[in-house]
Amino acid sequence: MPTARHLVNRRRRIDRLDGRPVSRSPDATAHRPSARAATPTRSRADRTAASPTAKSSGRGGWWAPGLTAVVVLLAGLGGYACLRTRALDDQPVRHNTALTDTAATSRVKGLVDTAVRDLFSYRYTDPDRTRAAARDRLTGAAVRQYAALMEQVHAQGPAQRLVLTTTVTDSGVEVLDGGRARLLVFADQVSTRTGKDGGDTVAAAMFAVDAVRQGSTWRIAGIDTFRRAQDTGPPQEQPQTPQSP
């Protein structure tokens, strides 16, 4: 019995000392002396010790750098795709939504058509209606440009008993970029004078209009009548020259 207990105790002590001697001892003997010998090997020993099993430590050898590389590649791909998208989105062709945005295109076209009709129509009995249109429909440089265009009409209108009826025959949106638009307008202006040089005349007008969106509506911010440099006379909106079709 004492012998048996002694043997059992001894075995237990050996077990306690060496852990699982059969599986662990080659590993342990391999590492212990080298760990004592030099620092780099010590760190390797530590890593082995940190890993719960030899199997998982072997997998960690490639999956961490491998995954990191994949993460870097994916991030790089994403960044490149972002740059390409931005380059595509920055193309001028994208900024102009004339005709591509049909709703916005027809809205600005409709508003400018009515604005031009109201602005360049005049009735000597009700000149305030034209002035009201100017207040509602114009902004910025167009206020001054329009005043110059209509100066004579307002000055001579009552004496000539002038009636101007402007019809937009064609209009097209050249550029529509967010809250800014540029339109080309062809309009006919019929003027009726009942004064000394009475009669009807039709004037053909073409001009470009810059429009800006203000709140829910569009206002005309610029009127380009394509005046020639040497031109000093009234621009085309003035019904000065009768035109035979």
Partner 1 sequence: MKGRNRLPGRRRRPARATEPRGGRTRLALPAALLVAAGFAAWACAGWYASAHDEHVAYSRHRDAALDAAEQGVRNLNTLDHTELDHGLALWEESATGDLLGDLRRSRAQFSRQVRSARTTTSARVLSGALTELDDRAGRARAMVAVRVTVRTPDRKTAVKDSRMLAELTRTGGGWKLNALGQAPVGDTGTAGPDAAPDAE
Closest approach of Cβ 101 to partner 1, in Å?
8
Which of 134/203 has CB closer to partner 1?
A: 203
Query: Which residues from 25-44 bind partner 1, rule CB under 8 A?
Result: 28, 35, 42-43
Residue with token string 């212990």: 32
What b/e readout covers 11-32, taking b as 16+ CB neighbours within 10 angstroms?
eeeeeeeeeeeeeeeeeeeebe
Q: Under rule CB under 8 A, how many of the chain's residues touch partner 1?
A: 67
Closest approach of Cβ 110 to partner 1, in Å?
13
Query: Which residues from 173-192 bind partner 1, rule CB under 8 A?
Result: 173-174, 183-184, 186, 188, 190
> Phi/psi of residue 154, each to 5°?
-70, -30
**Burial, 135: exposed, middle or buried (Cβ in 10 Å; 0-12, 13-18, 19+)?**
exposed
User: Could you give the CA distance from residue 125 to residue 182 in angstroms, rounded to a whole number?
Assistant: 33
Can residue 139 be called a binding residue for partner 1 (CB under 8 A)? Answer: no
Can residue 148 be called a binding residue for partner 1 (CB under 8 A)? Answer: no
User: Could you give the CA distance from residue 8 to residue 11 in angstroms, rounded to a whole number?
Assistant: 5
User: Could you give the CA distance from residue 142 to residue 209 in angstroms, rounded to a whole number?
Assistant: 9
Closest approach of Cβ 196 to partner 1, in Å?
23
Which of 34/155 has CB closer to partner 1?
A: 34
Query: Which residues from 82-121 bind partner 1, rule CB under 8 A?
Result: 82, 84-85, 88-89, 91, 93-94, 96-101
Closest approach of Cβ 152 to partner 1, in Å?
20
Residue with token string 């009548």: 225
Name the residue among 111, 88, 80 with its Cα closest to residue 211. Answer: 111
Q: How many CB atoms lie within 10 A of CB 41?
A: 14
Where are the extended beta strands (E) located within 78-162? 122-123
Q: Of 19, 26, 61, 233, which one interacts with partner 1 (CB under 8 A)?
A: 19
Report the interface residues with partner 1, using CB under 8 A. 15-20, 24, 28, 35, 42-43, 45-47, 49-51, 60, 63-64, 67-68, 70-72, 74-75, 77-82, 84-85, 88-89, 91, 93-94, 96-101, 169-174, 183-184, 186, 188, 190, 202, 204, 206, 208, 224, 226, 228, 236, 243, 245
